[in-house]
Chains A and B, each alone.
Chain A
Amino acid sequence: MKSTAQALPATAADLPAPNRWGNRIFEGMTMLSVVILGVCFVCAAYVLVEGAWLAIHTYGWSFLTSQQWNPVTENFGALPFIFGTVVSAAIALLIAVPLSIGTAIFLTDLAPLWMRQPLTSVIEMLAAVPSVIWGLWGLFVLMPWLHDHPYTWLNKHFGSIPIFGGPIEGSGSCIMSAGIIVAIMILPIVTSVSREILRAVPDLQREAAYGLGATRWEVTRIAVLSYARRGLLGAAVLGLGRALGETMAVTMVVGNSPKIHASLLQPGWTLASVIANQFGEASDDLQRSVLFEIGLVLVGVTIVVNIGALILIKSIETPGTRRA
């Protein structure tokens, strides 16, 4: 090893030679980490497919279309959860996307400069609130209020319309509540992505419209929103991807009922929340395998949706893609 009386390098040529392995080991470590990332991928795929295998064999494709959920007779179908997931996500998007885009417009065009940073911080804080806390608040604050006010009113006056029909739960647990809570949870991401998209719109577009005598709203509508259409769609799809995966808050407010109701005011279940609820209690391998299959469906759909979102968003970030 090194001698204690290290030769002092009079010139550069005297410096100790670099360790031959230093670079290689380090680069190797970084490559190993990337491999581990790939392993995570493989793990997820393997665990889900392997876990779901039993259920896939037992039920085949009818799993996706069956409404049964009977642990006793071992008759399982995922349709109620697919339904619940789709409907609650749709509600969430209907509420959140307009609000988010409106807020994004406010932030980029209308808000006074002093307000922008604080508002952005508020949105970031909103994003940081854990799912379980939304569930807690939803359970004890939002749902009772929803039940006492809009739900009862809607049910009473519009109960003949299927979507507002049926007996409503006293607690307020229903698909609508799940949709609303998820809407709150996806507001931050859709807002911030929308904002980035709107910021990417060249000022030239706005200036041209102003130059033509357009009002503020017209400028926004014509020059900004239509240019940013694809990106905003991407933001919405990204929100959808998040909405599909929300678990804890949903499981606390959705009612956990494996039935498909036409009414939004009645309880339901989603893919993610049924797993959270049942996984620990699954009494046998088949039931657990069913949950894995549900997880597989969930992940498959989520990945496809997220890829779609990324493609849409990236398309606006490379300028010059739009013809005049």
Chain B
Amino acid sequence: MNQVISITPSTMSDRDKPAVDAVAAPTPVPTMKPMAVVPPSAPATTAGPPQIAFDIQDLSIFYGAHQAIKNVSLQITAHSVTAIIGPSGCGKSTLLRSLNRMHELTPGARHTGSIRILGDDLYGPGIDPTVVRRRVGMIFQKSNPFPTLTIAENVLVGLRLNGVRDKVFLNRRLEESLRMAALWDEVKDHLHRPGTSLSGGQQQRLCIARAIANRPEILLMDEPCSALDPIATGKVEELIHELSRDYTIVIVTHNMQQAARVSNKTAFMYMGKLVEYGETEQIFMNPKDPQTEAYVSGRFG
């Protein structure tokens, strides 16, 4: 059984993996167009029901004997910003990392339940995590541009190391990605400086550009602003808003005000369980669950 992740028909002729053609997508997936082309800016006010980026069903994650995520079911809408909030240790980072299979890097990790990404089973038998992670980009808490690479090389590393060589294409993608990350003007004359020569906020935007350069469909952000000053944070939040037009963004944050500022939907987690999930306004103004209410009004956390 080979990779279940489908590809756009237009590029199929250049692929030399015959087995891919034989893949029977388990469910018909009418929505498998390259996301960058699709325009909607707000979750599904127009044609048809909102696409589901992640369909999480009854997910539990164990690290050895310890259960970090307890029976979470959640549907994350595409082209929106979904925030996951909760006190330390509630499992929000684990949940985020399960969305691109990064939690598997911890020894002893296993899961039950299922996650579907844009209709495909994320943990299907033939799925290569490497391919998954190209479609789902990740930004980490502490920016980590590669120190031995220049700014330009940092942005393009995902493409280059995955076999793309066309210089014209790469240069174009470099500029596009840096523009989308609101960094182009600041670095366009210094593309040959090392990636670590930028300030903290710029480095984080560089990491965003690096992740975007792959043109993933989804961006996961794990407390991306916690190491940044307020001005840099503001810039990144603005960026998130811009990017949400073309990408699905899931952001974990311990900063409730930030969640309220940037997200369309919010999920509140506590002790591994999903306590409440809904429109951001509703969660913060009118929480249904008393625990949610206690958290958002600052009575614990």
A residues with CB within 8 A of B:
1, 3, 5-18
Contact = CB atoms under 8 A, between A and B. Distances in A.
Contacts of B163: 15-16
A11 B216 CA distance: 6
A11 B164 contact: no
Contact of B166 (A8, A11, A13): A8
Contact of B217 (A12, A15, A16): A12
B216 A12 contact: yes
Interface stretch (B47-55, B127-135, B187-195): B127-135
Contact of B36 (A3, A5, A10): A10
A183 B37 CA distance: 76
B164 A15 contact: yes
Contact of B8 (A8, A14, A16): A14
A9 B14 contact: no
B17 interface: yes
A5 B216 CA distance: 23
Contacts of B294: none
A5 B8 CA distance: 18
Contacts of A11: 8, 34-36, 135, 215-217
Interface in B30-80: 34-37
B150 to A, nearest CB: 22
A15 B165 CA distance: 11
Given A15-B134, A15-B163, A8 B214 contact: no
B164 A9 contact: yes
Contact of A10 (B34, B165, B166, B216): B34
B166 A15 contact: no
A10 B215 contact: yes
Contacts of B7: 13-14
Contact of A17 (B36, B131, B159, B166): B131
A9 B5 contact: no
Contacts of A12: 134-135, 137, 214-217
A21 to B, nearest CB: 13
A177 to B, nearest CB: 51
B286 interface: no
Interface string B122-157: 000000101100110100000000000000000000
8 contacts: A8-B166, A10-B34, A10-B215, A11-B217, A13-B8, A13-B134, A14-B8, A18-B131
B300 interface: no
Interface of B is mostly: loop
A7 B169 CA distance: 11
Nearest to A10: B34
A15 B216 CA distance: 10
A7 B137 CA distance: 21
A140 B208 CA distance: 68
Given A10-B37, A12-B135, 5 more contacts: A9-B164, A13-B5, A13-B8, A13-B34, A17-B15
Contacts of A18: 128, 130-131, 162
B229 to A, nearest CB: 31
Contacts of B98: none
Contacts of A10: 8, 11, 34, 36-37, 215
Interface string B1-30: 001011110010011110000000000000
Contact of B165 (A1, A5, A6, A14): A6
A14 B37 CA distance: 14
B11 A7 contact: yes
A7 B215 contact: no
B162 A14 contact: no
A15 B14 contact: no
A299 to B, nearest CB: 37
B14 A6 contact: yes
Nearest to A9: B164
A15 B162 contact: yes
B1 to A, nearest CB: 14
A14 B11 contact: yes
Contacts of B217: 11-13
B215 A9 contact: yes
A16 B128 CA distance: 13
B14 A17 contact: no
B91 to A, nearest CB: 27
Given A8-B169, A18-B162, A13 B130 contact: no
A137 to B, nearest CB: 44
Contact of B214 (A1, A5, A7, A15): A15
Given A15-B214, A16-B162, A7 B14 contact: yes
Contacts of A1: 16
A296 B8 CA distance: 67
A14 B139 CA distance: 21
Nearest to B162: A15
Contacts of B137: 12
A35 to B, nearest CB: 23
Nearest to A5: B14
B290 to A, nearest CB: 42
A6 B216 CA distance: 19
A18 B34 CA distance: 20
